């Protein structure tokens, strides 16, 4: 396998500044489980970026962040509304159902974005004990299709949720990519538009491991420390997650990586679009490119470059850029594609 593929942003390694922060945190003893100065500083940075009232908890991974955040705001007879393509629906091996006990109610949506009109039909049955009771709208920002909700779209969803006694949960594994795409700071696309609970991604943005669950109303987090422990997501040497987030959020590293990755995705899409055999299928709004490539050429491409076929039926592939993707990586890949499909 070559050094850098387009399979996923989690195939990349760790940003050098993050590695350095880890090394620097490795000094002496500190109390385990988060009662340490690293965690205290990292939490302060979250409050700076997301608002002074947020409650923040670090967990090991992205599935853990999503599932535990959802557990905190649901009871087992309730339902979580999400897109059919949502990570919580297709990529977490049923962990949301298993750990929350809830049903996921899914909506088919070609661009990965939920809209109020699609949600309304799921709400009849309210108050009827035979049916699960929708309690959460769960979206991904950026979506699994590389698209990005605008601030207005987010606010519309949040308002609708709140008007109907529901909460808005955001899987922000790639929230930073979305913020860059919208030219926004993190608070503008979360607290300011009415998001209730957020999984804030670290790993896909250049960390080694570690995600954050952010509650915009701390009352929602009343039991979360127990949920995190029971959910097997409490790290003993917490300082090493905290130090990574500190590296991310103390300067502008949180947006430098995604800004670069988004630009690389744009470049990749525009180059591929020039090949008549290839069709870009989604607007490129973050760091993912979706493209139909004639299926007969895919095996040859995959021998040299690792990437995923997203939709076999239409021979659509997903190509992800990451913080360390270079222009040369892209030009080499596109040249190879051009050669292969011609």
Q: Which of residues 216-235 bind its own copies (CB under 8 A)?
A: 223, 225-235
CA-to-CA dists, residue 82 to 57, 248, 319, angstroms: 23, 29, 23
- Helix, strand, coil shares of the chain as percentages rounded to 5? 45, 15, 40
Cβ proximity to its own copies: between 76 and 185 the closer is 76
Q: Of 91, 251, 252, 296, which one interacts with its own copies (CB under 8 A)?
A: 91
Q: CB of residue 147 vs its own copies: minimum separation in angstroms? A: 21
Nearer to its own copies, 313 or 339 (CB): 313
Question: Using the rule CB under 8 A, is 116 a contact of its own copies?
Answer: no
Q: Are strands 167-172 and 133-140 parallel, antiparallel or unpaired?
A: parallel
Name the minimum Å distance from CB 328 to its own copies.
14
Between residues 240 and 254, which has the closer beta carbon with respect to its own copies?
240
Report CA-CA distances (Å) from 242 to 11, 32, 245.
Answer: 22, 12, 5
Interface with its own copies: number of residues (CB under 8 A): 81
Angular region, 24: left φ>0, alpha ψ -120 to 50, beta rest: alpha
Residue in 235, 213, 149, 190 with CA at minimum distance from that of residue 49: 190
211-215 sheet: strands from edge to edge = 55-59, 211-215, 197-200, 167-172, 133-140, 78-83, 103-107
Range 9-68, binding its own copies (CB under 8 A): 10-14, 16, 19, 22-23, 25-33, 60-64, 67-68
- Compare residues 93 and 299 and give the one whose CB is closer to its own copies: 93
- Binding of its own copies by 7 (CB under 8 A): yes
Q: Is 330 in the site for its own copies (CB under 8 A)?
A: no
Q: Which is nearer to its own copies, 63 or 140 (CB)?
A: 63
């Amino acid at each position: 396998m070559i050094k850098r593929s387009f399979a996923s942003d989690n195939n990349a390694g760790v940003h050098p500044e993050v590695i350095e922060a880890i090394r620097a945190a490795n000094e002496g003893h500190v109390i385990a489980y988060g009662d340490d100065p690293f965690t205290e500083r990292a939490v302060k940075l979250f409050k700076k970026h997301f608002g002074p009232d947020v409650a923040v908890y670090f967990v090991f991974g992205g599935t853990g962040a999503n599932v535990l955040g959802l557990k905190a705001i649901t009871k087992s007879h309730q339902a979580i509304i999400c897109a059919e393509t949502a990570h919580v629906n297709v990529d977490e091996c049923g962990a949301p159902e298993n750990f929350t006990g809830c049903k996921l109610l899914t909506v088919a949506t070609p661009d990965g974005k939920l809209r109020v009109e699609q949600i309304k039909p799921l709400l009849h049955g309210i108050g009827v004990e035979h049916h699960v009771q929708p309690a959460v709208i769960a979206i991904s920002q950026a979506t699994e299709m590389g698209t990005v909700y605008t601030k207005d779209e987010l606010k519309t969803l949040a308002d609708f949720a709140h008007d109907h006694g529901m909460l808005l949960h955001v899987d922000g594994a790639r929230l930073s990519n979305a913020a860059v795409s919208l030219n926004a700071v993190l608070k503008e696309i979360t607290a300011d538009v009415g998001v209730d609970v957020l999984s804030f991604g670290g790993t896909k943005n250049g960390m080694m491991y570690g995600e954050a669950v952010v509650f915009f109303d701390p009352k929602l987090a009343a039991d979360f420390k127990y949920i995190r422990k029971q959910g097997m997501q409490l790290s003993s040497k917490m300082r090493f997650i905290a130090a990574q987030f500190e590296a991310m959020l103390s300067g502008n590293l949180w947006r430098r990586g995604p800004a670069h990755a988004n630009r690389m995705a744009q470049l990749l899409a525009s180059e591929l679009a020039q090949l008549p055999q290839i069709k870009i299928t989604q607007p490129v709004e973050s760091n993912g490119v979706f493209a139909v490539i004639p299926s007969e050429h895919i095996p040859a491409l995959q021998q040299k470059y690792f990437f995923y076929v997203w939709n076999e039926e239409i021979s659509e592939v997903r190509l992800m850029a990451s913080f360390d993707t270079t222009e040369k990586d892209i030009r080499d890949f596109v040249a190879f594609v051009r050669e292969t499909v011609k």
